[in-house]
Amino acid sequence: MSATVETFRTRAEVTEARGGRFEFLGIIAPSREDIVWFAVVFIPALIGGWWLVYVAEIWVGDALSRVNQAYSVVLGRDPHLGAIGFIWPPLPSALELPFVLAIEPFAAPVLAGQIVSAAFSGALAVALNRTLEQTRVPRRWRIPLVAFTMLNPLVVYSAINGMTENIFLFFAVVATGELIRWQPGEQKSLLVAALCIGLGFLVRYEAVAFAGAGVIALIVRVWSRPVDQDHLEAILTSFIAPIAYCIGLWILWKDRK
């Protein structure tokens, strides 16, 4: 058995450890531990975001711009999807659409960005915990490691200010976990990792660099194995293609507008 298999849990082992929970595209149904992590991060982040916006009246310009884009799509003078704009990647504003609609009858929907950033901060904590779990880190170490990461001042501020850093980090951590789990000959983890990086590009353009790092990691991973050139090309194509589709669709849509 290879060192990789001994060190990292396979998908089947993780699923079995979680009581055989339902799995779809690598997403295992949340356990009680996942729910606790999400709640412990999401609720304080949401309260902090509410305080930042409505009490301290501190707004981040870029976060407000994304909320304004979402507002223009559904409640603007000429509501249409193209109003989401083409300066920022579209996913954060798209995620804010339902919250803009829900908040607008009661107050200015500036909190929509904070709701999304708080939710993805909770999801980030869950993703970090799951990644450490699959690398066989004991719970007594996982808890402080995840807690210290989420208490980093930059992570805390990104959780409450409505910005996109923690959204991008969530996709990056999930992609990293899937690349760690991936074994040559297995496609699901590779596909999930690529889709996460592609979605990460629709959050922040820095995902292009992360995709390049993923390609290098895959080459290093299979370098010591007896893999022929065609097999290596197939692996890299399977990884790059979904990312390229996300990038290409966004560029094409921008050009058409």
122 within domain boundaries: yes
137 within domain boundaries: yes
> What's at 195, amino acid-wise?
L
Please state the pTM of the whole predicted model. Answer: 0.85
204 within domain boundaries: no
74 within domain boundaries: yes
73-119 confidence digits (pLDDT tens) = 888 777 777 778 777 889 999 999 999 999 988 888 889 999 999 99
149-175 confidence digits (pLDDT tens) = 999 999 999 999 999 999 999 999 999
How many domains would you assign to the chain? 1
> What's at 159, amino acid-wise?
A
193 within domain boundaries: no
Q: CB of 56 within 8 A of CB of 114?
A: no
78 within domain boundaries: yes
Closest by CA position to 195, among listed 216, 172, 218: 172
- Phi, psi dihedrals of residue 106, rounded to the nearest 5°: -110, -30
What mean pLDDT is reported for the chain? 85
In whole angstroms, give the CA distance from residue 48 to residue 156.
9
23: alpha, beta or left? (left if phi > 0; alpha if psi -120 to 50)? beta
- Phi, psi dihedrals of residue 23, rounded to the nearest 5°: -135, 135
- Which range marks the domain in which residue 78 is found? 3-180
211 within domain boundaries: no
239 within domain boundaries: no
In whole angstroms, give the CA distance from residue 171 to residue 164.
11
In whole angstroms, give the CA distance from residue 56 to residue 62.
18
